[in-house]
Each structure stands twice: as structure tokens, then as C-alpha cells.
Structure 1
Amino acid sequence: MKSIQAVRRNLLRAQAGYPRPERPLAPAPVGSGLLSVPGDSGLPLVGNTVDMLGNPLGNVLRQYRRYGQVSWSRWFGGNIVHLIGPDAIEAAWMDRDGVMSSELGWGQLIGPFFDRGLMLLDFAEHRHHRRIMQAAFTPRRLDGYLELMAPLVADHISEWDGGQGFPASARIKGLLLAVASEVFMGSELAPEHTRRLEEAFDATVHGGRAFLRADVGNFTWARGLRGREMLQEYFRSWIPARRAGSGGDLFTVLCNSSDEDGNAFTDEDVVNHMIFAMMAAHDTTSVALSMMVYYLGLHRDWQDRLREESCELGDSAITVKSLDALSGMDLVFRETVRINAPVGMIFRKTVRDTDILGHYIPQGCLVGIHPWATMQLPEWWPEPKRWDPERFSPERSEDRVHRFAWAPFGGGAHRCIGMYFAAMEAKLILHQLLTKFEWSVPQGYRIRFTYGTGAVPADGLPIDVCRLRTPRSSVVH
């Protein structure tokens, strides 16, 4: 890790002294009244790739300070337009002219690993698939998932021993995979299958971050392809049983759902959607939940406040509505995903010439939409680096200054279909943790990150966890 960071620092020093040509991505057509997009190509050959991989947030914020809400740079050997700020990301997400392709944008980066997942579909086809999948995320279905999840979460957490250096992030990720297996697949996995699936998902998620993009040896891209193949085989093997079943798990629901016209998913559709849904259910949610645990370990006053809320709720009254009523927990969730967005960057590619905030964007241009960086801008968020859940309180409502100032789940037609499930799952697990444990972050500990869909603790997040002398889960009011 140190050698990678050293390489990155040396490249940044070289880049600082290297002439940065501020030539446009492509000149705006004469007489169009549009501006050319400002930016630069960075270092020879590598452009900004190393910095984007090592510190994506810092790189993008520097781009914003230098060029504003719309700019371009060179990355992975090609040009990319960056959209940073509420107005810029709104223009791309709402896509009123239908020019922003999610399939083409994500496809060249993660297409081999999440091919035909809902996020990688476009326009009419996306709407068609989303209508069918929506049946899996109705309020009635969410109630059913919660009923499946609650005892499973309680059983797993009761087996945690705590102690000093407890690897909170690693244990949370394992728990989320177990929950996703039960709720999304309708089966509890044997330990050996759990390890294989977790390794396959990790390889698949990280495949898109490979610098060498070729199926060679055991490098990152090749490991991602093998992970995808393993997941495809696994899900295909279960489809006949799920089509014949009537369970309440997501897998069975997708196998048997149809829209109002009777359209249903093919076997390949089900496999593609399950791979993507399982990734989102345990990878992105683990980012949010791990960081909630981290911040509550730093801010013990907030931990005590949330524990008091959870103790008043008790375990026998857990419903979607009662979890939503945990007001302090909702503030903590919203602030945590602002500061540590589960998905930091979202991609599109233009299918026709267009403009964003008066800047000319040519056809075939890769576009990076930056909700994470947008939620760190001091123009919209006072003291953006400070973890302050009260900024979402009714008295302050800092998120109301613009409808896309807080946008961790995307927007427009591609807004995350599982956002309510993710929030429900994170709150349920945190509720169980609060009623059984208390925890703190060791003095002097500094969290180190690696990057997948978002910033993930690289060391498993070792914290000090102590079981409560009298577990509060039995308290019912």
C-alpha cells in the first residue's frame, strides 16, 4: 500500500510541474452559443488515472476548484467529462433530451462484470425491466423482507464476541452477505459457499478498477471475469427450483414477477439482475453501515442517543414504520452517506451532441457524474468535512437547498430501486448492535480506505467492542 501511495505522490509532484494544456475536450460549434468544456490531459500516457484510482474524491474536488461544475480530464487512456455540483448532476440525471446512455457509460468500465444489470440498461428497455422488478420492492415486499431479516440478524449478532480490535467492517460485510443470501435467495449458505460467493463478489466488484484490462493471468480484470462466471453458474443452477416455488425471497419474486401486460424475465434476465442486486445489497450497504458504526464509535454522545431510541423501541415492535420513526438514526444514516457515499461516481455516455450548463458535450463522450464530491462542496454544505447529523434536522434542513445537493442514491429514471431496502437493512442491523454492544474507536486510530463502489475500510475497521452487561433487546415499551 505504501509503495502505491508513494508512486501516486511522485506522479502528483510531477504533474504539478508539468505544463497542463487547457485545451477543450472538443471545441463548441461556431455560432452555437455554447462554451467549450475546460480541462487538461494531465500527465503523458497515464493522464489522471493513478490519482483517480488512489484518491478519487481529492482528484475530483481539485478538478472542481480549478474548472468549475463542468470540466474534462484524461483517464484510462480516454477523455471523461466531470459533472460536479447540484445543477450539473441534475442536468445529467434528468436527461430530458434522452442523450445519456447508462449502458454505454458503465459498459466500458464494468460491463463484463455486471452485464445487463438494471443499472446498465437504457431508456425504454430500462423502464420495461424496472416495471417488472418494482414488484420486488413494494411496501408489502419490504415488510416481508424485514420479517425474514430480523431473526437472522439477531442470531448472527448474538454470536459476535466483541473485544479489542474487533474487525467491524469485515464482520458487517459477512453478515450482509448472509442476510442477502436468505432474503434475496431464500437459502442460508454453508460457510464454504459463503466464502466462495464473497470472494466472487469482491473479485467482480473490483474487476472494473483494473489498470490492465485484459484476461491475463490472475490479475484484477481476469479475477473479475472468473468471479462473474462463478456467480452466473451459481444462480442458473437454482432457477428451476425458484420458478416452481412461491417463497418471499427476491430470487423467487424475480422468477415469477410480471408487469401489467404479462411480460416476465427470462432466465438470463434473472441471473443478470440477481448478480447486480446481490452486489448492491451487501457491498454498497456495507459501506454505509460500517461508516455509521465508525462515526458512532467516535461520537459516543450520538451512540448513547441512538441506543436510548432503540431501547424504547425494543425488538418485538420492529416494523418498517417503527424503524423509520427512529429519528436520530435517520439523521446519522443521512449524514454518513453524505460524507461517505456508497457509490462515489456514476457513468454515462452521450449518444448525441448535447450541452450541460451551457457547455458543449459531443456525441460519444464518457461522462462522470459525481454525487460524492457534490455532497462535499462548501458552497452547499457548511463545514462539509465535519460529521454533523443535525444538519438534516427540521430546524436546519441543509439538504433542502437544492433537490440534488444530497443525492447518494442517484436521480431520475435510474434512481436506486433498492434505496428503501438498503436504509431499512442498515437501520435494523444498527438497532440490534446498539441494544447488545457499545463500542469506541481506539485512540490514535486513523481509518485507511480502499475503493470499490465507494470508500471501504481497508483494514476491516478494528474497533473496541464491549457486550452490554444487560442486553437491551428484551426491553419493550
Structure 2
Amino acid sequence: MNARCTYGVAPGALPVFGHALPLLRDPLAFLSTLPGRGDLVRIRVGPVRAVVVCDPGLTREVLRDDRTFDKGGPLYDRIREFTGNGLASCPHRDHRRQRRLLQPAFHSARMPEYAEVMTRQVTALTGAWRDGGTVDAADEMLTLSARITVAAMFGSEADDAGLARVMDDFTTVVAGIPRRALMPAPADRLPTPGNRRYDRARARLRAAIGLLITRQRSGDPGTGDLLSMLLAAGRDGPDGRGLSDTEIADQLVTFFAAGTETSGSALAWALYLLGGHPEVARRLRAEVDGVLDGAPAATFGHLPGLRLTAAVISEALRLYPPAWVLTRTTTDDTRLGGHTIPAGTAVVYSAYLLHRRPELFPDPERFVPDRWIAAPGAPQPPRTAFLPFGSGPRKCIGDVFALTEAALALATVVAGWDLRPANGRRVRPAPRLVLSPHRLPMVTVARAGGG
């Protein structure tokens, strides 16, 4: 973009802390005020100075040039504490090799096989519900996504007790990462209860993944699961080496984190939004009933007919994008929007911010799935400003996997159940590493012929 864009400064910075307090108190509200300050807005978090990109065109520039705007900044420093040098967090110099080795695991030809796992897991989960019972839909969808991710990674299902322990530790780590990103470096080493819980949970998760790799190496090699493909990856690489156990563990932790949180969050928000919009829910039930034609669960072959289902998921991702804020770091002095950005600057972009700009998405606060299935010739949403999975060379490798999972799960739930809000309270998003509902109690009402 050659035009010179506005460059502002966020007000309210405090000595020492900068803007850390409003970011900790209500980061979504703070971000929402920034477009009024300019296309590029300077903020400060402790000693770290950053530039927030509020313009969609400038955001595309940042995401296209992953060499100049490399994965980095306080948030990625903390993510790497957990995921290591996995695909989602590795620097530019490592990304191309990793992406090429991992891409076969997400080839479109593999989706029907993954879809069978997804259908089986959602059927098992909803089969445990009871008519008139109450579930926390946020926890249920997170558990479902975790089960699907584990089955896809290891070719086997997780036992309930083991998965519960992993999810407890995972929740602790995911909740701790944003807080630690806003924490001055020495503070993360203090022996506080929160730091100790975080360190213990992170160590147990890495140990659990390491044990699964060891068991897989010593057993019969599989062929269809992600771990088996990772164990074989690299033999055709430029250096002729297979991936080390550490590299494999980094990828598995990365895929577990991304696969569990992203899909689970999207599904939970979709169910919440449908609960507050009965007319959309009615239309969705009619679509699912017509496409499934009496089948108890959605399968890969049903996906082309589930247009409203896909639109509901897209609209949930627009309103509540899982990766709501991310950072990059400039590797050289560069120009952005006509302004010089020095090397080493933290650059922040937010899908949440862009998705709620009214000039991009009219009436942005409303849940309007039909905006994604407009009639031919009618205005379409700007896909270049729709970033639930990022964009450019670092776009999420598992985006099709996640969308397939969400559509199959939502259609299967709708086929058998009406989920109704257990109370009239507005659910507030919890801006952790992923933008998730804090709690989502819903009553499970079995539909005639389903459940």
C-alpha cells in the first residue's frame, strides 16, 4: 500500500506499566478503541513498544511478508515456552521446511478419513447426553475437539481419566500465556502459586506427549495417524534426516493446542449464538434434516449440502475469532503505510478488531449467517479481511480440518438435539490465548427420532 496512513498513539499509558493494565482488565474493549486513533497505533506494555495495525490492507501486507514481519513478540515468546519450535510459532527460517514435511498430513485426500474419526467422536459424545439434562457446552465442545485431535494424531482414542488430566493442564497453560506475555521478564521466574502451576502443567503436558512418542516408536508403526507420518517425515528432506523426537513433540503439542482450542471454541460460540437466535436455529434444523434424510449423524458426503451450517460457523468465527490477537516482529527497518517501522518492533494485529469494523462487515455486532451465502451478484463479505485462520504463507495448515470438524459436529448435534440456554445471562468471552466462552450451560433436549 503506497498511500500514507494515519499513525496515532493510544492514550492512557501509565509510568512503568504503559497500557498493560487496560490490556489485562478488558483487552477487547481496549482494542476496539484503537481504530479511532489511526490505521497504525503505538502502544506500550512495560518496556516493550508495539504498533497495532488497525487497517485491513496494512494487515494483509504484514501477513504476506513473513520474512520482514516474522513470528515474534512477547506473545510468541510465551507460546514457544509451551509449543517449542512448532509450525505455528517457528521463525521464518524454519517454516518452509516444516510446512513441506507436514503438508501431506493435511492433504484434501485425507479429509474423508479424518471425517470418519470426527463423526465417530461426536456421536459418542452426544450419546452420553440425556433428555432434559444440562451440560456446559464450552467444556463439551473442547472435550470433543480434544478427542478428535488425539485420535487424528495417534490413531487411538484417549481414555477419559488421562484426557481429563491433560485438559486440566492444558487449560492452565492456555490461560497463563497471555498473562505472562504482559508480565515483565523477571516476574515469570518468581515462585508465585500461578507461576508454579503453569510450570508444572507445562512440564506434565510435554512429558505426556514424549511418552506417547516413545510408545509409538516401540510398537507397530501406523500409517494413517499424524504421529506415524511425523516419524516418517524428513527422510526425503533436504538434509536426509528424520525429525528428532524434540521436533516431533513440538509439532504434536502445536497441533493439539491449535486443533483443540480453535474448533472447540468455534463450536461453542455457534451453539451459544443459535440459542439466542431461534429463527436461524429453526432454519438450520430444516437444512440438517433435509440433507441427512434420517441419518443419525453427518458424514463427509453430507458437507456440500450443509451451506447454512457452514455459514453459521463462519459467522461464529467472525464474531469470536479464536486467534483474536497475534504479534509479529520486524526483522529489518521497513515501511508500512508510508511510515518507517524500525527493526525489532512488535507489530500487533487482531482478527477481532477487523471483523467488527462496520465498513467491512455491515452491522458487525449482529449474528447474520446469511452474509456468507448472499445471492449471486449481491455484495459478498471481504474475504481478505476475514482472518480466523490467518493469511499469507503462515495461514493455518489445519484450516480445512477445523472447518470440516466444526460442520460435521454442528450438524450432528442439531440432528439429534435442541440445545437451549440454561439461563438468560449474556455469555462474555474469556480473552485467553483463544477467545472462548467462560461458561456455557445449556439444556439438552432430545429431538424426535434423534438423540
Highest relative contact order (Cα 8 Å, sep 6+), 1 or 2?
2
Q: Which runs of 5+ in 2 are unaligned?
A: none
Q: Determine the structure 2 residue equivalent to 1:339.
A: 319
- Equivalent of 1:416, from 374, 396, 401? 396
Q: Determine the structure 2 residue equivalent to 1:384.
A: 364
Change (3 A) 1:35 1:383: closer
Structural mapping, 1:163-182, within 5 Å: 163=132, 165-182=134-151
Q: Determine the structure 2 residue equivalent to 1:22.
A: none
Q: How far apart in 2 are the matches of 1:130 and 1:283? A: 21
- Equivalent of 2:63, from 84, 90, 93? 93
More deviation in 417-426 or 233-242? 233-242
Q: TM-score, normalised by structure 2?
A: 0.90
Is 1:102 the equivalent of 2:83? no
Amino acid at match of 1:441: P
Q: By how many angstroms is 1:187 displaced?
A: 2.4
Q: Which runs of 5+ in 1 are unaligned?
A: 1-32, 473-477
> Are the aligned partners of 1:81 and 1:365 in contact in 2 as well (CA < 8 Å)?
yes
Q: Determine the structure 1 residue equivalent to 2:279.
A: 301
Q: Determine the structure 2 residue equivalent to 1:231.
A: 205
Q: How far apart in 1 are the matches of 2:49 and 2:129? A: 47
Q: How far apart in 1 are the matches of 2:377 and 2:269? A: 22
More deviation in 439-448 or 423-432? 439-448
Amino acid at match of 2:283: R
> Are the aligned partners of 1:106 and 1:120 in contact in 2 as well (CA < 8 Å)?
no
Q: How far apart in 2 are the matches of 1:231 and 1:398? A: 48
Q: How far apart in 2 are the matches of 1:282 and 1:121? A: 20
Q: How far apart in 2 are the matches of 1:82 and 1:396? A: 36
Amino acid at match of 1:372: Y
Q: Determine the structure 2 residue equivalent to 1:114.
A: 83
> Are the aligned partners of 1:94 and 1:413 in contact in 2 as well (CA < 8 Å)?
yes
Change (3 A) 1:50 1:207: same
Deviation digits for residues 11-42 of structure 1 (CA, Å, limit 9, x no counterpart):
xxxxxxxxxxxxxxxxxxxxxx9889421461
Deviation digits for residues 249-292 of structure 1 (CA, Å, limit 9, x no counterpart):
22222222345655532211110010010011111211110000
Q: How far apart in 2 are the matches of 1:373 and 1:184? A: 33
Aligned sequence identity (%):
25
Q: By how many angstroms is 1:160 displaced?
A: 1.2
Q: Determine the structure 2 residue equivalent to 1:279.
A: 257
Q: Determine the structure 2 residue equivalent to 1:26.
A: none
Q: Determine the structure 2 residue equivalent to 1:468.
A: 447
Deviation digits for residues 365-387 of structure 1 (CA, Å, limit 9, x no counterpart):
11111111001001211111011
Q: Determine the structure 2 residue equivalent to 1:404.
A: 384
More deviation in 372-381 or 118-127? 118-127
Q: Determine the structure 2 residue equivalent to 1:64.
A: 35
Q: TM-score, normalised by structure 1?
A: 0.85
Q: How far apart in 1 are the matches of 2:417 and 2:81? A: 41
Amino acid at match of 2:153: F
Change (3 A) 1:171 1:399: farther
Aligned residues: 437
Q: How far apart in 1 are the matches of 2:119 and 2:125? A: 10
Q: What secondary structure does 1:347 align onto?
A: strand
Is 1:199 the equivalent of 2:168? yes
Q: By how many angstroms is 1:106 displaced?
A: 4.3
Q: By how many angstroms is 1:452 displaced?
A: 1.7
Q: By how many angstroms is 1:465 displaced?
A: 2.2
> Are the aligned partners of 1:166 and 1:464 in contact in 2 as well (CA < 8 Å)?
yes
